């Protein structure tokens, strides 16, 4: 801790924690993309200095499709996976549930199993080198049909790949409209097969999206979920059921959900009894990292060491890591000093 009472980046890097809301599609490095684009003879969408500048969520999602299209080989996917684990280690993150949406990866359409296996090779190599472990949350895109959703789930069940820990759904809620009823059967089948469920809601949709995630999709965890604060009944639902939120402050500010960190509802939700964790969402695209996200929230809301431990503990408990990983992280957390 610094003399002025604020926590240093080193202190927050040392805070034992997990990350539960981060997308592989948002972890590209600009130099990697430029190199791959040059090799493929593909034009860059904008100049280097503005590569990660976005006008809206829709603009960001379009960029992700372009970037993922460059990851056309097994080696490139393994490189991305290994690089993600290096990022975790640099942030002091002991485990991550990493979201990947197969619909973004054009070269791998119809080859989702190969996509997973290529990433698994990179994660396995990283673990052998002592880097943090990762679980994959395979995500539906909101524009998919109910039949496509069920097909993906049935494939995940049949493959039983140990790297896959959860079913997810993401994408622009405002553009797609209400999708909870459409995906309810897919999520029901995932639950019956023992897959965990995490759902993007309460970002471009309001609190009604959060309610659907809980009541129709049986979400174990909500990605974002911050607009639940607009309905006291939804806040109470989250608190009563103990459903944690994977909150991403910088992402919400960048996409103009809130005008400032002081206006962000993470602390109001926490004080209302909702379990909240701090996450990066798309760290490369947003020029952030996990210690910076903790520092942002702690400075804005005056979080004590006790609150920081509680938020970090939520991140560990809310993760889909195995019991041994969780126990190790919580033991280290008990010894943390800022």
Burial readout 97-136 (b: 16 or more C-beta within 10 A, e: otherwise): bbbbbbbbbeebeeebeebbbbbbbbbbebeeeebbbbbb
Distance CA 292, CA 3 (A): 19
Q: Is 198 helix (H, G, I), strand (E, B) or coil?
A: strand
Phi and psi for 278 in degrees, rounded to 5?
A: -110, 135
CA angle 184, 153, 75 (to 5 degrees): 135
Determine whether 148 is exposed, middle or buried from the number of CB atoms within 10 Å of its CB (0-12, 13-18, 19+).
middle
Q: What is the set of active-site residues?
A: 203
Residue 334 sits at the vertex; the CA angle it makes with 328 and 338, to the nearest 5 degrees, is: 120
Residue 294 class from Cβ within 10 Å (0-12 exposed, 13-18 middle, 19+ buried)?
Answer: buried
The rounded distance, in Å, linking the Cα atoms of 215 and 145 is 20
Q: How far apart are CA 231 and CA 152, in angstroms?
A: 33
Residue 179 CA to residue 184 CA, distance in Å, equals 9
Question: Long-range CB contacts (< 8 A, 24+ apart) of 52-56?
Answer: 52/284, 52/285, 52/286, 52/287, 54/254, 54/285, 56/255
Q: What are phi and psi of 171, to 5 degrees?
A: 115, 175
Residues facing residue 10 across a β-bridge? none
Tokens 């949350």 sit on residue: 137
């Amino acid at each position: 801790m610094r003399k002025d009472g604020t926590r240093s980046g080193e202190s927050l890097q040392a805070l034992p924690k997990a990350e539960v809301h981060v997308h592989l599609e948002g972890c590209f490095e600009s130099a990697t993309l430029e190199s791959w684009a040059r090799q493929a003879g593909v034009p860059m969408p904008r100049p280097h200095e503005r590569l990660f500048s976005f006008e809206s969520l829709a603009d960001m999602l379009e960029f992700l499709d372009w970037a993922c299209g460059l990851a056309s080989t097994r080696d490139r996917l393994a490189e991305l996976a290994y690089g993600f684990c290096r990022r975790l280690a640099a942030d002091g993150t002991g485990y991550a549930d990493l979201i990947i949406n197969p619909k973004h990866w054009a070269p791998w359409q119809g080859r989702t199993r190969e996509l997973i296996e290529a990433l698994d090779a990179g994660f396995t190599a990283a673990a052998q080198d002592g880097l943090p472990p990762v679980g994959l949350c395979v995500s539906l895109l909101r524009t998919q049909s109910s039949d496509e959703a069920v097909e993906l789930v049935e494939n995940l069940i049949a493959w039983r790949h140990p790297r896959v820990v959860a079913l997810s759904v993401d994408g622009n809620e405002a553009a797609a409209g209400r999708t909870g009823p459409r995906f309810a059967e897919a999520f029901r089948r995932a639950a019956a097969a023992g897959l965990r469920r995490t759902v993007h809601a309460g970002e471009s949709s309001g609190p009604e999206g959060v309610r659907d995630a809980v009541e129709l999709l049986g979400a174990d965890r909500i990605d974002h979920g911050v607009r639940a604060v607009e309905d006291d009944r939804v806040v109470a639902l989250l608190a009563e059921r103990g459903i944690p939120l994977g909150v991403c402050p910088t992402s919400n500010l960048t996409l103009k959900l809130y005008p400032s960190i002081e206006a962000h509802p993470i602390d109001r939700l926490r004080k209302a009894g909702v379990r909240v964790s701090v996450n990066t969402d798309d760290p490369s695209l947003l020029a952030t990292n996990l210690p910076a996200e903790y520092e942002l929230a702690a400075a804005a809301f005056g979080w004590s060491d006790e609150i920081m431990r509680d938020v970090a503990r939520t991140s560990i408990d809310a993760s889909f890591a195995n019991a041994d990983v969780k126990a190790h992280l919580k033991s280290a957390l008990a010894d943390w000093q800022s």
